[in-house]
Structure 1
């Protein structure tokens, strides 16, 4: 079961991008920080409003999106 109750989207906050608990911290920002080598502890120190579970849910949300099936409209030769 997907648990992403901390991931929110509001058209008035960051143009509707997926954010954490209605804050102006996007899921994409957190994932980019991790992808660029920051540890969870470093992110939590830099963004004190975040909690460890927020970061965990970013991963859950990303994993959910990655499972989406892609369909091509181009012919494969």
Structure 2
């Protein structure tokens, strides 16, 4: 399974922001937890409906969002 298939976007859920497998936990929530120092194991313990691949999917999604071409205008 492609990890990005775990990321869902639904207009009426979480303001249309990317979520994990249709649950009301956003990709940004996972990233915030990691940024605050939570380990993968802690996240899975606190959110038992999540799977390890969900965390990988959130990280992959975020990395791909940052990997885009930057256009500049010459002066």
- Using the size of structure 1 for normalisation, the TM-score is 0.86
- Using the size of structure 2 for normalisation, the TM-score is 0.89
State how far apart, in whole Å, the 2-side matches of 1:27 and 1:63 are: 11
Is the alpha carbon distance of 1:46 and 1:16 closer, same or farther for their aligned partners in structure 2, counting shifts above 3 Å? same
More displaced stretch, 19-28 vs 2-11: 2-11
Pick the structure with more helix per residue.
2
Q: Are the counterparts in 1 of residues 3 and 56 from structure 2 also a CA contact under 8 Å?
A: no
Q: Which residue does 1:35 correspond to in 2? A: 35
Q: Once superposed, what is the RMSD of the aligned Cα atoms?
A: 1.6
The residue correspondences of 1:2-21 to structure 2 (distance < 5 A) are 3-21=3-21
Q: Are the counterparts in 1 of residues 3 and 53 from structure 2 also a CA contact under 8 Å?
A: no
The residue correspondences of 1:1-77 to structure 2 (distance < 5 A) are 3-72=3-72
Deviation at 1:68, TM superposition (A): 1.4
Provide structure 2 residue ranges, at least 5 long, that are not aligned to the other structure.
none
User: Matched residue pairs, number?
Assistant: 74
Structure 1 segments of 4+ aligned residues over 4 angstroms from their partners? none
More displaced stretch, 26-35 vs 64-73: 64-73
Provide structure 1 residue ranges, at least 5 long, that are not aligned to the other structure.
none
